[in-house]
Amino acid sequence: MPPPSTFPCPACGEDVPAKAKACPHCGACDKSGWNEEASGTDGLDLPGEDFDYEKFKEEEFGQPQKLRGKKLFWWWATVLLVIVLALLTLSNFFLR
Ligand SMILES: [Zn+2]
């Protein structure tokens, strides 16, 4: 049996000539690791952003035990800032 003259493109699944250095259908090539580079980077970048956003939402609205330390810090930081500002404002009033 002769070796296949084409192989399926890992990026788009179309037949690519075995000697081709880039997929004629989607533009993927050896240098790009046969990724879908020709169609933009949305295949790699967007899921990361979506995942981060979901994670952020999860930390913000769910699983209170996980975010307790980090959120508690900012809560106290905010309270402390408000107290300091209030004291400064009050002292300004009294000193005048
Ligand atoms: Zn392809």
Question: What is the Å distance from ligand 1's center to 5 Cα?
Answer: 15
Q: Among residues 45, 47, 20, 40, which one has the least CA distance to residue 9? A: 20
Question: What is the Å distance from ligand 1's center to 13 Cα?
Answer: 6
Residue 38's pLDDT is what?
47
Q: What is the pLDDT along the chain (96 residues), one digit of tens a residue?
A: 666 688 888 888 889 888 888 888 888 877 666 565 445 444 455 555 555 666 666 666 665 555 567 788 899 999 999 999 999 999 988 876
Question: What is the Å distance from ligand 1's center to 28 Cα?
Answer: 5
Residue 49's pLDDT is what?
52
Copy the structure tokens of residue 46: 């967007």
Question: What is the Å distance from ligand 1's center to 74 Cα?
Answer: 48
Question: What is the Å distance from ligand 1's center to 34 Cα?
Answer: 8
The one-letter amino acid code at 12 reads C
Question: What is the Å distance from ligand 1's center to 73 Cα?
Answer: 49
Residue 94's pLDDT is what?
81
Report whether 10 contacts 1 (CB < 8 A). no
Q: Please, which residues bridge with residue 6 across strands?
A: 17
Q: Please, which residues bridge with residue 15 across strands?
A: 8
Question: What is the Å distance from ligand 1's center to 14 Cα?
Answer: 6
CA distances from 62 to 37, 45, 47, 48, 71 (A): 36, 25, 21, 20, 12
Q: Please, which residues bridge with residue 83 across strands?
A: none
Q: Among residues 16, 56, 50, 47, which one has the least CA distance to residue 34? A: 16
Domain ranges, ordered by start, for the chain: 42-95
